[in-house]
Amino acid sequence: MPRPESATRVDFRSPNLEDGQHLWRMAREARVLDVNTSYAYLLWARDFAETSIIATIDDDPGGFVTGYRRPDDPETLMIWQVAVGDQYRGQGLASRMLDDLVDRSSDAPVRHLETTITADNSASIALFTSFANARKAPIERTPLFEAEMFPDGHDAELLFRIGPF
């Protein structure tokens, strides 16, 4: 498989309807993510494309970030899921996708980024901590979804709120 540093092309763009299936597949292949229905990813690609991103490496879908601006706080970008294919990990792809999303020009700048993380996801904690450090932005960590709130034995999700930028 081609690797980003030797690839002819790494592209970042908003997902389209054709990409919905790739988001679903990458979420499934990541193994540690909640895999939502394929319908959910298609819906996301239609309605939240502007706050989501897919990375392709020589046209091969290699990673994605899904997010939305919080309806009651539009300067906060909530990141729902991030995944990078096994073969493309450890090369800064996830960091670059986050940077690209946050820095996209828009009438309203993003001043905070939020995400939720389970305590055992060290890769995700490292990704968002590195993102905050690079921007010299503070991180607030607070409980959000307690384990008891989930009906299916899901682990607790801690809210990471980063910013202001």
Ligand X SMILES: CC(C)(COP(=O)(O)OP(=O)(O)OC[C@H]1O[C@@H](n2cnc3c(N)ncnc32)[C@H](O)[C@@H]1OP(=O)(O)O)[C@@H](O)C(=O)NCCC(=O)NCCS
With residue 114 as reference, give the H or E element that holds it.
strand 112-117
When the beta carbons of 26 and 45 are compared against ligand X, the nearer one is 26
For ligand X, the closer CB: 78 or 108 = 78
Q: In the complex with ligand X, which residue's Cβ is closer, 104 or 135?
A: 135
Q: How far is the CB of 16 from ligand X (least distance, A)?
A: 21
Q: Closest CB to ligand X among 37 and 107?
A: 37
Whether the CB-CB separation of 126 and 84 falls below 8 Å is answered with no
Q: Would you tell me which residues interact with ligand X (CB under 6 A)?
A: 30, 32-33, 81-84, 89-95, 121-124, 126-127, 130
Maximum Cα interatomic distance, the chain, rounded to a whole number of Å? 48
What is the C-alpha to C-alpha distance for residues 163 and 165, in angstroms, rounded to an integer?
5
DSSP element (H, E) containing 84: strand 73-84
**Other beta carbons within 10 Å of 126:** 11
Q: Which residues pair with 115 in a beta bridge?
A: 79, 160
Q: C-beta of 109: minimal distance to ligand X in Å?
A: 22
Q: Minimum distance between the CB of residue 27 and ligand X, rounded to whole angstroms?
A: 8
For the bound state, the minimum distance from the C-beta of residue 88 to ligand X, rounded and expressed in Å, comes to: 7
